Amino acid sequence: MRILVVDDEPDLVRALERGLKREGYAVDTALSGEEALAKASWNPYDLVCLDLNMPGLDGLEVCNSLRDTPFQGVIPRILMLTARDKIDDRIKGLDAGADDYLVKPFSFEELAARVRSLLRRDSGQAGSIIEIGPLVIDTSKHLAKRGDRSLDLTSKEFALLRYFMSKPDQVISQSELLDHVWDEHADPVTNTVRVTVGTLRRKISIDDEVDLIETVVGSGYRLLEEPLEEIFDNKD
């Protein structure tokens, strides 16, 4: 999942960027509302961590703009960050379209938990455990299993698997994976997506296990909620 962190405090931005990257997210940053809207106009973010108080365009204006002009019709989840703790300020942020509100100072652990909660809303998952077929991941503990077998995944492979599991049985293009699993520094002309998908596929399907990631020629990849062999077996 790809996150944009927006705050005019450089030290806080760097700290949140480091922490969220350790959580396995692709993270871009902006130090002003203007920079945030510019980046959001060409990148499809899944979530925006947005400071309320900024010079120039403040968080409310940025939030309203993100709601009014979503990128390719996709509206990101918005977690408002602010030192204002009055009820009226929270109401203004929520009425502007924020999905959640976190008052500074806050612990990174709470922010990470709120991010996980917001990103789960569209997947239909109620907790940190996501199960698709024989695959299970714990997004809070960064653990992944296939059946009883633990999967030893890199942070990028875990992020890739998490994105696949958010859209089971859907064909996902390489460009979509690049947009949501990699940050703005990724080189779009490299084969990084193909290579990472290949290593993930080998790790989740070994020996005589059924391959769970299907290559759809000319379109992308699909995580099979029910492996093809099982679909055909069920027809007998």
Domain ranges for the chain: 2-122, 129-234
**Strands 143-146 and 135-138, bridge-based pairing:** antiparallel
Contacts of 120 (CB under 8 A, 6+ apart): 126, 127, 128, 139
User: What is the reported pLDDT for 233?
Assistant: 45
User: What is the reported pLDDT for 152?
Assistant: 95
Q: Are 118 and 99 in contact (CB under 8 A)?
A: yes
User: What is the reported pLDDT for 235?
Assistant: 44
Residue 70 vs residue 204, higher pLDDT: 204
Q: Which CATH architecture has domain 2-122?
A: 3-Layer(aba) Sandwich (3.40)
Q: Are 30 and 39 in contact (CB under 8 A)?
A: yes
User: What is the reported pLDDT for 124?
Assistant: 55
DSSP state of 121: G
User: What is the reported pLDDT for 236?
Assistant: 46
- Kindly report which listed range (88-97, 106-115, 183-192) carries the lowest average pLDDT score: 88-97
User: What is the reported pLDDT for 231?
Assistant: 40
Mean pLDDT, the chain, integer: 87
Concatenating the DSSP letter of every residue in 191-219 gives SHHHHHHHHHHHHHS-TTPPP-EEEETTT
Place of tokens 């010079």: 55
pLDDT tens digits for range 65-92:
988 877 767 789 999 998 876 777 777 7
Share of the chain above pLDDT 70, in %: 92
Question: Measured between alpha carbons, how far is 75 from 148 in angstroms, rounded to an integer?
Answer: 37
The separation between CA 113 and the C-alpha centre of its own chain, rounded to angstroms, equals: 13
- Residue 47, classified by CB atoms within 10 Å of its CB into exposed (0-12), middle (13-18) or buried (19+), is buried
Which is it for the CA torsion 20, 26, 31, 37, positive or negative? negative
26 — pLDDT class (breaks 50, 70, 90): very high
Buried b (16+ CB within 10 A) or exposed e, 182-217: bbeeeeeeeebbeebbeebbebbbeeeeeebbeeee
List Cβ<8 Å contacts ≥24 apart for 93-97.
Answer: 93/52, 93/59, 93/60, 93/63, 96/60, 96/63, 96/64, 96/67, 97/63, 97/64, 97/66, 97/67
Assign 3-class secondary structure to 137-156: EECCCCEEEECCEECCCCHH
pTM: 0.80
**Three-class SS state of 81:** strand
CATH fold of the domain at 129-234: Arc Repressor Mutant, subunit A (1.10.10)
Question: Measured between alpha carbons, how far is 50 from 63 in angstroms, rounded to an integer?
Answer: 8
